Chain A
Amino acid sequence: MNYAALSYAALFRATLPEIVLEIAALLVIVVDLGFLRKATLPIRTAFAAVIGVAGCVAAVWAVYVAGWAGFSAGNDLLLLAGGSAGVAEVSILVLTAITLLLLVDSAFTRNPGEYVSVVLMSAAGGLIISAAQDLLVIFVGLELLSLGLYILTAFNKQSGKSAEAAIKYYLFGGMSAAFLLFGFSYLYGLSGSTYLPKVILGTYMASANGGASLLYIALVMIAAGLGFKVAAVPFHLWAPDTYEGAPAPAAAFIASVSKVASFALLISISTVTLHFIGDLNFAHSYVTVKVSNCPAHITPGFSTVWPLALVVLSVLSMILGNLAALAQTSVRRLLAYSAIAHAGYILLGHAFFSWTNASAQAILYYIVTYGLTTIGAFGVVGIVERATGSDKLDSFLGLHKRNPVLAAVLLVLFLSLAGIPPLVGFWAKFNLFAAVLAVGAGAIPFALVALSIAFSAVSLYYYLQVLKRAYVMPASDESSIRVHPVTLFVLIAIAAAVLALGCFPALLQNWIAGFYPAM
């Protein structure tokens, strides 16, 4: 193996966005604890948020400066640049900045500096996993992301629910990280490498030599570990509690940024499973391996089993997520179950992953727009919650009278989540399903897509339950709801973006395609 010295200059260059975020994270703490100790809470919050947003903007700039070189140690590319990593990094940073802006109006903590700092560090973990190509780097990035999320969930120290949610999240998270690491260790044992393409190749070799059963165990473990991150059934149990208990901006962060990063990681894995040796096409997922003393035979490998695991997770998530959402009375729990359902659709895109970039781009389109929409939804829920003291369905009664703008934003966002054109959520679904059908032209992918579409028809019912209360049913309390101008501006901007991107779907598609080298 080549132990050539790491090029620290190249590492610095490749991780520039992460470094910028970490510097901003430290800066926030220094400013908040050093200079603003006497200042009032709103001022400290505003400063912390502004520095955080500035850090994100600078990191976006750094993504472009870092270029598309990536970072390699020896011959192994550890961090990818451009392509899905580029899209995911920029989206993570933008979404993080938006969740930080939502902080301005919330009062769940007296320590805004620490909050922003943890958010930024967590986002840095997200950047790492969306670019990682190595099992160890993936694990480090995931832990960096997750540890931050546990803290954020517990950030409302006055609320018992927040603490409960955090401890549940933490226990589930710890367990699934253990599974993931265990699965990774098997993969390393099977392949002798932690570099993803070599791992994938190694799985074929190993199963040819009789290690297939170990491979299956490893993949099930990894599916458990990653399934937890994306809240896929049956590893979803943390999601409703966490979404319900966490402070609204933290919940928005968990529902958007963490999802984008985790799905970007899955995209890397799916891409590598098809492209692990140069540009050979492994769409048929069998490799013929010549093993000494054995006749050549066909052996199953990573890409034989992995899509099957994803299909199972996907179908379970779609069914359970949508059906459970029907029965919720808390809007946050409703959003959690709807997130599970959306994860199901996206996993379907992963299970039928295309050799070209079409699938990756469709999934990126979906998660970016979904993340944006969810942040807006949590923003509205947070405001209503502060005004009424609860996130139950009935606290949305008469919202159109109490604050017409807020109600209109809610209308746009929820209809987009339901997939009604011309909003962006519709195009996301259409892109994704078209990509699935373009890959697998058989009865099974078609049936799965039909199932997804049928369940998205079900989903309209529960989204309408919220909108019905906002628009149709009589209000019990007609006092108007005051919204901080910054929050209002952010929410209107999100709704406008959802509408504009829906009317001009090619804008975002072209932007995403721009990160990929021309084919």
Chain B
Amino acid sequence: MAWAIYISFAGALVSALLPGARPALARWWALVVAAAGLGIAIAGFAAGVGQGRQVFVDALWVPSMGIHFLLAADGISRVLVLLTGIASVAGVLFSWNIDLRTNQFFAFYLALIGGVYGVFLSGDLFLLFVFYEIAIVPKYFLISIWGSTRREYGAMKLALYSFVGSAMVLIGLLAAYTMAGSHSTTFADLAHAGLPISFQMWCFPLVFVGFAILAGMWPFHTWAPTGHVAAPTAASMLLAGVVMKLGAYGCLRVGIGLFPHGLDPWGFSFIGIGSWRDVFAWLAVIGIVYGALVALAQTDFKFVIGYSSVSHMGFVLLGLMTLNQIGLDGAVLQMFSHGVIAGLLFAIVGRIVYDRTHTRQFAELEPMHLSRRLPFAAWAFVFAGIASMGLPGFSGFVAELQVLVGAWQANPWWTIVSGIGIIVGVAYIWRALQKAFFSDALPTAHELESERAHKFAPITWPEYAGVALLGVSSLVVGLYPRILLDQIEPAVKALLAGGAQ
């Protein structure tokens, strides 16, 4: 599986060197590389069935500081690597129409993918941080060069939020490294270093918030909607699909894995909040409800999806804070599920609809009667919307149900308040469906005439392929969640039992 990282970076380098005048070449190259990555991810996933933690590479990278180049995967990593593979292939398919500096676009794109694979496969805290930071720079350029609405603002905001988050992580990392005696930075060694509880108490929130910024935790989520809206389609898909998961994964692996005592009660409580766990769980719950309510009020189609991501990522963070088997299982499953569904939603809004209508405003989409003119887009959105609402049969249902059950076991109030978020979630998808595709008003004669004059371009094969890939993934996991849960459960159990692995 380590090869998924290498070929992505090598692919990025080759893509940067490809001639800029031949966009088709760069596209096919990127598709080949992404597909190879997906192939490796699937093979690795299949090979990992029934296995615990597998180590792929373990070499001493910086001997004087005990930093290892350690690539390893447990069930959680394998699921997320699989998600990355799916999202990256779909992203390439939905950026088939990029003609401006195509080779550079895919160079940054593949570099980002390589960094994401690296984070999920790192078995060393330091290596994880390196890959985590590698992923920041390509995001900035992807958004600022190929983006749309207020792209430079959105890109800079995203880059600075990420960098501030990673600075917090770096401070915590240095502190933990020094506190543990500066011998080794692998997760296993740090987890067994016996970090003092008082140290974990302040280091945990630092690191957790640092990662949670990228996971879109309220109130540090504001980069997410602006960044998603500004980004080109493929970048929004990756941002929502996998980059936000980097943050959540960091929270899980580093925050909870290395500083488990940071979640212990403080010993006093204030308005019912007695530990960092309560603090972050309530922030997650606020994020769920707030994201959903704000999504309900948007006039820009893409902002609806952007805020829905904040809401859905709230479920991931809530699941992490339950600290029980079922809640954590649900959190990891929700990472996968949201990655696929958000990718699909962004693809429909940003690529299929926007590239034909050149608007994302509901007020302008409403008189276009898209359900008749773009039936494929309309029904794909119905499909994705249902998945996003969390109806049974789709991945979102299994994931969110598990999170809510886990949360109920931990604190019933979390579940009750989050329930509001789910109801509002149905409402905003419904509203978006109606406004964008299925408006009540009948077309006037004038509108019919202009429709005949301006036919939308037909749906292309990469669009069909991308929608099919993401839709099938969500459906398969929804109908047969054991395919992922069998891998997730033992890994979560090990994480809960031993701090880390």
Contacts and interface: CB of A to CB of B under 8 A. Distances in A.
Contact of B137 (A415, A453, A505): A415
A421 B130 contact: yes
A415 B163 CA distance: 12
B170 interface: yes
A454 B172 CA distance: 12
A15 B319 CA distance: 68
Contacts of B174: 430, 433-434, 437, 449, 453
A446 to B, nearest CB: 7
A437 B167 contact: no
Contact of B130 (A422, A433, A468): A422
Contacts of B170: 430, 453
Contacts of A454: 164, 167
B382 interface: no
Contacts of B130: 421-422, 426
Interface stretch (A174-182, A389-397, A457-465): A457-465
Interface stretch (B58-66, B240-248, B398-406, B467-475): B58-66
B105 to A, nearest CB: 12
A65 interface: no
B178 A438 contact: yes
Contacts of A438: 178, 182
Contact of B141 (A426, A437, A472): A472
Given A437-B178, A472-B145, A509 B64 contact: yes
Interface in A376-432: 400, 408, 415, 420-422, 426-427, 430-431
A421 B178 contact: no
B490 to A, nearest CB: 32
B134 interface: yes
Interface in A455-494: 456-457, 460-461, 464, 468, 471-473
A460 B145 contact: no
A506 B156 contact: no
A441 interface: yes
A420 B137 CA distance: 8
B160 A460 contact: yes
Interface string B280-315: 000000000000000000000000000000000000
Contacts of A441: 178
A450 interface: yes
Contacts of B152: 468, 472-473
A464 B136 CA distance: 12
Given A437-B178, A505-B62, A421 B133 contact: yes
Interface string B138-173: 001100110000001001100110011011001100
A464 B171 contact: no
A431 B170 CA distance: 12
Contacts of A415: 137
Given A438-B182, A472-B144, A509-B64, A421 B171 contact: no
A464 B167 contact: no
Contact of B164 (A457, A473, A506): A457
Contacts of A426: 130, 133
A513 B163 CA distance: 32
A509 B65 CA distance: 10
Contacts of A471: 141, 144-145
Contacts of A421: 129-130, 133-134
A507 B156 CA distance: 34
Contacts of B144: 468, 471-472
B134 A422 contact: yes
B175 interface: yes
Nearest to A411: B137
Contacts of B160: 457, 460-461
A441 B176 CA distance: 12
Contact of B182 (A434, A449, A472): A434
Size bracket, chain A contacts: 20 to 34
Contacts of B156: 461, 464, 468
B177 interface: yes
B301 to A, nearest CB: 25
A464 B159 contact: yes
Nearest to A451: B171
Nearest to B170: A453
A426 B170 CA distance: 11
A468 B143 CA distance: 11
Interface in A311-338: none
Nearest to B151: A472
Contacts of A408: 16
Nearest to B175: A446
Nearest to B61: A506
Contacts of A460: 159-160, 163
A443 to B, nearest CB: 11
A449 B104 CA distance: 36
A456 B177 CA distance: 20
Nearest to B130: A421
A464 B140 contact: yes
A450 B62 CA distance: 23
B175 to A, nearest CB: 7
Contacts of B175: 437, 446
B149 to A, nearest CB: 15
A490 to B, nearest CB: 21
A467 B129 CA distance: 23
Contacts of B145: 471-472
A446 B171 CA distance: 9
B141 A453 contact: no
A366 to B, nearest CB: 15
A420 B163 CA distance: 9
B65 A434 contact: yes
Contacts of B63: 506
Nearest to B145: A472
A420 B133 CA distance: 6
B253 to A, nearest CB: 18
A433 B126 CA distance: 14
Nearest to B167: A457
A1 B141 CA distance: 67
Find the residue from B62, B136, B163, B164 having the highest chain A CB count within 10 A: B163
A32 B144 CA distance: 50
A431 B134 CA distance: 18
A457 B133 CA distance: 12
A415 B63 CA distance: 25
Contacts of A461: 156, 160
B383 to A, nearest CB: 36
Contacts of B133: 420-421, 426
Contacts of A505: 61-62
Contacts of A437: 174-175, 178
A506 B64 contact: yes
Contacts of A422: 130, 134
A412 to B, nearest CB: 11
Contacts of A468: 144, 152, 156
Find the residue from A434, A460, A473 having the highest chain B CB count within 10 A: A460
B466 to A, nearest CB: 27
Contacts of A473: 152
A471 B141 CA distance: 8
Interface string B176-204: 01100010000000000000000000000
16 contacts: A408-B16, A420-B134, A421-B134, A426-B133, A437-B175, A438-B178, A438-B182, A441-B178, A453-B171, A454-B167, A457-B160, A457-B164, A457-B166, A468-B156, A472-B144, A505-B61
5 nearest CB pairs, A to B: A421-B130, A457-B167, A437-B178, A472-B144, A457-B163
Given A437-B174, A449-B174, A472-B144, 20 more contacts: A400-B104, A426-B130, A431-B65, A434-B174, A434-B182, A437-B175, A438-B182, A453-B167, A453-B174, A454-B164, A457-B166, A464-B159, A468-B144, A468-B152, A471-B145, A472-B145, A472-B152, A506-B64, A509-B64, A513-B64
Interface of B: 16, 61-65, 104, 129-130, 133-134, 136-137, 140-141, 144-145, 152, 155-156, 159-160, 163-164, 166-167, 170-171, 174-175, 177-178, 182
